[in-house]
Amino acid sequence: MLSDRQQQILELAKRAGRVAVDDLAGRYAVSVQTIRKDLNELCDQRLLARIHGGAVLSSGVENVGYDARRMIAADEKAAIGRAVADLIPDRASLFVNIGTTTEAVAHALLRHGGLMVITNNINVVTAMRPYPEIELVIAGGVVRRSDGGIVGEAAVDFIRQFKVDFAVIGVSAIDVDGSLLDFDYREVRVAQAIISNARHVILAADSSKFERSAPVRIGHLNQVHSFVTDAAPAAIRQICRDTDVRLVETTPTTAETDAWATADAG
């Protein structure tokens, strides 16, 4: 049985994806030792998983809500977005799939010219639509209300009509063995089609993805050509070396995050 405070902590983690010891101690006006005890008990029941300074939602079958995902590692995602954009030249064709990190990439690409962007992400279309230098092509299929993603076999068939220069993909989790994971089988099918129909695949994922798990396998890190993240664990670095995947690690800046937020508000 969970105490009232533990139940509330679990609900906070479900909304935000993670909780911090210091923040919880302040919220509930208790000691950090008390909060650590709460988190340890929640982790013992496999409801949360401990990380440095707090805990994350450990569910391997349910994703964090879209609005909460946008807030998780926002600085890191903005920096990753710019680093990915630096890898893509003007006048290139590319896929951009579903995800808050790939949306950060879309905002960073707004300064490019002559792009052809094919996407199954309504939020990417919304961000890029006002820019005449970018030709947008949107996949057809079932619109997932939770995050504006377009999924299903119609989207898969649509993606297979193209062969593009680059693919920018995001994932929900990355296993220590290099497996790329997600929650929705329909979304995974689209991601697999994107990987198969791009000449250069760029994986964009912040380090929180190493702390999570998901049940559906997209593929393996060795299927991408470049991996852009804020920080990679040693095991992932070794996989990149062994499989000749270019690893780009970047440091976020507040200015980049502010620019993304401003563009999104506009």
Q: Where are the domains of the chain?
A: 4-58, 68-265
Closest to 200 measured CA to CA, from 176, 160, 164? 164
Report the CATH number of the 68-265 domain. 3.40.50.1360
Is beta strand 164-169 parallel, antiparallel or unpaired with respect to 93-96?
parallel
Q: Is 232 exposed, middle or buried (0-12, 13-18, 19+ CB in 10 A)?
A: buried
**What is 4-58's CATH number, 3.30.420.310, 1.10.10.10, 1.10.150.120, 1.10.357.10?**
1.10.10.10
Q: Detail the DSSP E strand segments found in 149-243.
A: 149-151, 164-169, 173-174, 179-182, 198-204, 216-220, 226-229
Kindly give the confidence (pLDDT) of every residue in the chain, 266 residues in length, as a single tens digit, with 9 standing for 90 and above.
789 999 999 888 877 777 899 999 999 999 999 999 999 998 888 778 788 888 877 655 455 555 666 667 788 899 999 999 999 999 999 999 998 999 999 999 999 999 999 999 999 999 999 999 999 999 999 998 878 899 999 999 999 999 999 999 999 999 999 999 998 899 999 999 999 999 999 999 998 888 778 889 999 999 999 999 999 999 999 999 999 999 999 975 444 444 444 444 44
